[in-house]
């Protein structure tokens, strides 16, 4: 059955009111749904009586207006895909519904969590935009559980911090990064890659897998692990914006990987900026699967 | 019956869980309860099945640590007074419960609302502290209605803006400023005035009443109305920090009082900084009552 679409917070609350006694699972997205989003919806479907999806391309988290303008908007197919994954209700507000005239409030997470990685490149205002819109969405839906993908690792750390600090009553659940057969993390932005760029982009998961393999072989020096990634990217003629290994919770720099660390990168491929990451944790191995044809690349 | 006191958000939520189906009224305070707070509690008692009071001297909204240190802390008498006013539950957390290690989130209201009046004098960080703690308290209690005093007029505008912008599901209710017989607005800080200073402070409501009278006589020029207030304060040898007439909703400067305006002031009396205000609205008269003995002052 096709999920119902609501456009306002008032309609959303009215639609959810009869279901407050049951469990509500929520997947916030910017639309352009792909298999990664569907895996979040299926996780929500498994664990909750009601599944709510939001589709909102949030202007306040885009630094470059060209990126905002180019962001794919595919509502009709999103609705069909979401229905297929068991979504009950879709909240798809306008920009005016989320940020009416006079809107003046920002939710901001400070410190290393937002000053490093994407925050260093895109500016903290990116995460102000994320924290503000996610707090608004969580307060609008008031779900029991909200589902985020591990691909946006720093975003998940920011959201977890914000939810804990403000005391928003919701459980944040992180789901594994969904990947194509050659290991490339699924992203709505991948649709903007040419076939050649798409092939080049496969160097990203290969580079992360090489770091995982190095870590598995005992290397604990963050600089050596990052250098391994850089070498693979440069060999594929990709220029990384950053490759960093930081503490997985605080995102602070580390001298050695002794507890779970986040190896995160951003790289431009043609017109598109892609991010990806793996968690390196002593005693844990969860290597990125790479399809055999791609393992033959340098 | 003496109200129950809880110290943690977990205890608070557990205590309120059985009452979620009924209505919850909430009065956030910094303790040192006086008649003004009790009038808020009585309003909450009239309109809700359950009344919750919070007592938390919030360090993040104090600019001067001397002011924070000097802020009166009188929990035992607060509990007795709150019980007498019909309070069911008191939430009195520690600073560590509200701001545990690693806390990094700020809720900030921008624009004229926080840049003028108290925001210009104390800095926007004062209202960042207010917006952050009030959002945390509202999310912890999840009341149907929260009650604020009109004395802290700018605070109420900030809270209303923040609640609307984030979509926190609560009704904000503003109660009239509670005043002593001579018109002085009740404030926990009044206890720090010497008898002589207390007498001097009576010039504050007299000055506001003079502006109300001028407004009633047809004066609509914000500068003339503010000048009337300044003259009364200076005649009493009080030096105002500011006296301003601004739009009551946006707090933006106005050229003439054509819609509800806020006449707000801050003045130092001895060691204490006091604030007060009146709303000037065409067609509305609600003059500050001044006890006869005090009307004889210059």
What CATH code is carried by the domain that includes residue B196? Answer: 3.30.1300.10
The CATH number linked to A145 is 3.40.50.620
A226 and A140 belong to one structural domain? no
A142 and A204 belong to one structural domain? no
Lowest mean pLDDT among A62-71, B43-52, B77-86: A62-71
pLDDT, residue A63, reads: 83
Question: Under 8 Å CB-to-CB from B176, ≥6 apart: which residues?
Answer: B39, B149, B150, B286
A116 and A147 belong to one structural domain? yes
What's the whole-number average pLDDT of chain B?
Answer: 94
- A182 in any annotated domain: no
**Looking at A50-111, which runs of residues are DSSP E strands?**
50-55, 89-91, 105-109
A163 and A52 belong to one structural domain? yes
Q: Which of B175, B206, B230 is the last residue of a domain?
A: B175
Q: Tell me which chain B residue has its CA closest to the CA of residue A112.
A: B104
User: Which tens digit of pLDDT belongs to each residue from B185-229?
Assistant: 999 899 999 999 999 999 999 999 999 999 999 999 999 999 999
User: Which tens digit of pLDDT belongs to each residue from A138-165?
Assistant: 999 999 999 999 999 999 999 999 999 9
Of A139, A161, A250, the CB nearest to B168: A139
- A297 in any annotated domain: no
- B281 in any annotated domain: yes
B57 and B132 belong to one structural domain? yes
- B114 in any annotated domain: yes
Q: Which of B116, B149, B175 is the last residue of a domain?
A: B175
Residue B138: list chain A partners with CB under 8 A: none
Sign, Cα dihedral of B103, B109, B114, B115? positive
Residue A129: list chain B partners with CB under 8 A: none
Name the pLDDT band for A123 (thresholds 50, 70, 90): confident
pLDDT, residue B298, reads: 42
A153 and A192 belong to one structural domain? no
Are residues A136 and B107, on separate chains, in Cβ contact within 8 Å? no
A121 and A229 belong to one structural domain? no
B37 and B145 belong to one structural domain? yes
Residue A163 distance to chain B (closest CA, Å): 9
Q: Which of B138, B154, B175 is the last residue of a domain?
A: B175
| Structural domain count, chain A | 2
Residue B241 Cα to chain centre, angstroms: 18
B37 is catalytic: yes
What's the whole-number average pLDDT of chain A?
Answer: 94
Pair of tokens at residue B257: 């009082």
Q: Tell me which chain B residue has its CA closest to the CA of residue A111.
A: B104
B102 and B13 belong to one structural domain? yes
- A181 in any annotated domain: no
User: Which tens digit of pLDDT belongs to each residue from A12-29?
Assistant: 999 999 999 999 999 999
pLDDT, residue A1, reads: 66
Of A110, A140, A162, the CB nearest to B167: A140
pLDDT, residue A296, reads: 43
- B290 in any annotated domain: yes
B171 and B214 belong to one structural domain? no
B144 and B194 belong to one structural domain? no
B131 and B209 belong to one structural domain? no
User: Which tens digit of pLDDT belongs to each residue from A249-273?
Assistant: 999 999 999 999 999 999 999 999 9
Question: Under 8 Å CB-to-CB from A145, ≥6 apart: which residues?
Answer: A23, A24, A25, A26, A44, A47, A48, A170, A171, A172, A173
Range of the domain at B254: 188-295
Task: Answer whether residue B66 shows pLDDT above 90.
Answer: no
pLDDT, residue A144, reads: 98
Name the pLDDT band for B295 (thresholds 50, 70, 90): very low
The Cα B140–Cα B132 span in angstroms is 12
């Amino acid at each position: 059955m096709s999920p119902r679409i609501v456009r306002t917070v008032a309609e959303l609350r009215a639609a959810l009111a009869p279901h407050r006694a049951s469990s509500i699972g929520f997947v916030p997205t910017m639309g352009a749904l792909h298999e990664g989003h569907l895996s979040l919806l299926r996780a929500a479907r498994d664990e909750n009586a009601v599944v709510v999806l939001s589709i909102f391309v949030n202007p306040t988290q885009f630094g470059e207006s060209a990126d905002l303008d180019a962001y794919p908007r595919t509502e009709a197919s999103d609705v069909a895909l979401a229905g297929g994954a068991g979504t009950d209700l879709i909240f798809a507000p306008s920009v005016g519904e989320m940020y009416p005239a006079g809107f003046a409030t920002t939710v901001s997470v400070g410190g290393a969590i937002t000053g490093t990685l994407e925050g260093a490149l895109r500016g903290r205002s990116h995460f102000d935009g994320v924290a503000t819109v996610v707090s608004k969405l969580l307060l609008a839906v008031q779900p029991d559980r909200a589902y985020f993908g591990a691909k946006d690792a720093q975003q998940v750390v920011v959201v977890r911090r914000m939810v804990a600090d403000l005391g928003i009553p919701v459980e944040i659940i992180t789901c594994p990064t969904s990947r194509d057969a050659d290991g490339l993390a699924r992203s709505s932005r991948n649709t903007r890659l040419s076939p050649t760029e798409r092939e080049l982009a496969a160097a990203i998961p290969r580079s992360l897998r090489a770091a995982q393999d190095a870590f598995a072989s005992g290397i604990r020096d963050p600089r050596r692990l990052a250098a391994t990634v850089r070498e693979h990217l440069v060999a594929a003629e990709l220029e990384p914006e950053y490759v960093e290994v930081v503490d997985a919770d605080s995102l602070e720099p580390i001298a050695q990987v002794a507890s779970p660390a986040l190896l995160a990168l951003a790289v431009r491929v043609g017109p598109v900026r892609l991010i990806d990451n793996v968690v390196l944790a002593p005693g844990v191995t969860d290597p990125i699967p790479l399809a055999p044809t791609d393992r033959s690349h340098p």
